[in-house]
Structure 1
Amino acid sequence: MIQNNLSKILGKRQLEITKVNQDTGISRTTITSLYYNRAKGINFDTLSTLCEYLDITPNELLNFTEERENKAIGKRIKAIRLSLGLTGKEFGHLIDNASSGVVANWENGVNKPNVERLRRIAEIGLMTVDELISEGKREMDNITFRGYLLEHLHDKGYRYIIKDEFEEIYAIENLQNGAVGKFVKWLTSFSYLFKDIEPEGHLNIAVELGLFDWSTVPDNTPVLVRNNVTEPWEYRHFYKYSAESDYPFICYIDGKTSYTVKSIQSIVKYDNWAFCKLAEEGE
């Protein structure tokens, strides 16, 4: 659930709803609903207009509740576990013998560990509890909002975010024939969410949202892989996807393909990875 801080912001600045309505053109009904936290949602055009008018970011206007914080902390816990190369069961043994199911609940944001277990996880991750939680909150702010924005664009039929040579952000339907795509006028207001896209680069929305069906990826497809977020991406050729594994992306070893791997003497012809993206999404 998301709440907003509009009433606090307007109160501090001594701005009345009528004034905001007159200056922005946003209907009084919409502003009132937001002010009293009765709105069930907010249009991105409205959000962009309010942020520009008040000179704030969406993260300052919107407040993500504990459920979202738990999910962000869960992502951090999973990253720590994967960086150690441990299964959920093995990781749980280190955290007061927590079951693999309990670990899965933490990582999926269903709930979060108690104070003692948070302290143990932070210790294993070589950080303090405050760093573990605050890092989660920073990730929640940008990553969660970026996710909402990409979900909205995907629902509207857009499949890629691209950045041109002047660092303007666009949403387009496809990358075929060098298409420039349709410009989304309010997207530039959220360009700070896409600093990871290089000029003249692009982002695949479906892959970012986890909507990409890896079971349909052809054998030998070029991909980039790694086992934790601190490692650089490595080039591989895709073999298959195994949903049951903590390292579900199986690739031919050392950049080999199904053809060239036959020439090596090693019994091991594949390696498993925790994270994977198409090579066209490369950095």
Structure 2
Amino acid sequence: MGDIAILRSEAKKGLLLSLYYAGFYYIARDNSDILYAFSKKPQWNGYDWEETGGVCISLEWVDNLLFFVKKSEPLNILTELCGVDWRTVKRNTPVLVYNKESGEKHRRYFAGFNECLQSPFITYSGGRTSWTDENSNGEVWKFCELADEEK
């Protein structure tokens, strides 16, 4: 039974990563229990989730992997994958950032998160903080994780 659970977990992660890389950032379930992936955060119209200027596709074929998605709120794919709601992370938080999954990780300080960007994580340039990087637009990254400050 354990092997099946591991396979299911890896399949779910692979599906969510594939959707994210294809430009879909939210998953929502409508009142008919049908799942959809959205490129922009959908809005509730009282019965269904509506796309808000983005693209929407049906995910009926993978409902068994995404059974945990509830009707009440769209699932943010990045938050599900990372376990972090990046919209709540404070500026100047130490992070490790990189642009390739197997790439070198760089120490930076978190500046913000923009889920509409292909590389949604924003840091201060060259390891600086908001105190020392006031005139920069920052750097953008595809991947980010909270840093262990003891390292």
State TM-score, norm by structure 2: 0.50
Q: Which residue of 2 aligns with 1:276?
A: 144
Q: Which has the larger radius of gyration?
A: 1
Q: Which residue of 1 aligns with 2:130?
A: 258
Q: Higher helix share goes to which structure?
A: 1
Q: Does 1:88 align with 2:30?
A: no
Contact 2:121–2:143 at 8 Å: present in 1 too? yes
String of CA shifts for 1:134-161, please: whole Å, max 9, x gaps. Answer: xxxxxxxxxx9xxxxxxxxxxxxxxxxx
- What 5-or-longer segments of structure 1 have no aligned partner? 5-57, 82-86, 90-98, 113-143, 145-206
Q: Which residue of 2 aligns with 1:223?
A: 95
Question: Residues of 2 paired with 1:270 and 1:278: CA distance?
Answer: 18
Contact 2:98–2:142 at 8 Å: present in 1 too? yes
Larger RCO: Structure 1 or Structure 2 (Cα < 8 Å, ≥ 6 residues apart)?
Answer: 2
Which structure 2 residues correspond to residues 206-221 of structure 1 after superposition, within 5 A? Answer: 210-221=82-93
Q: How far apart are 1:231 and its partner, in Å?
A: 0.7
Q: Which residue of 1 aligns with 2:115?
A: 243
Which structure 2 residues correspond to residues 1-283 of structure 1 after superposition, within 5 A? Answer: 4=1, 58-59=2-3, 62=5, 64=7, 69=11, 71-73=13-15, 75=17, 77=18, 81=21, 88=23, 101=55, 210-262=82-134, 268-280=136-148
Contact 1:220–1:258 at 8 Å: present in 2 too? yes
1:217 corresponds to which letter in structure 2?
A: V
Q: How far apart are 1:280 and its partner, in Å?
A: 1.0
Alpha-carbon RMSD: 4.2
Distance verdict in 2 for CA 1:111–1:226, change over 3 Å = farther
Structure 1 residue matching 2:87: 3-state secondary structure: helix
Contact 1:225–1:273 at 8 Å: present in 2 too? yes
String of CA shifts for 1:217-243, please: whole Å, max 9, x gaps. Answer: 222111111122121111111111223
String of CA shifts for 1:101-135, please: whole Å, max 9, x gaps. Answer: 47x77xxx7658xxxxxxxxxxxxxxxxxxxxxxx
1:218 corresponds to which letter in structure 2?
A: K
Contact 1:240–1:249 at 8 Å: present in 2 too? yes
Q: State the number of aligned residues.
A: 108
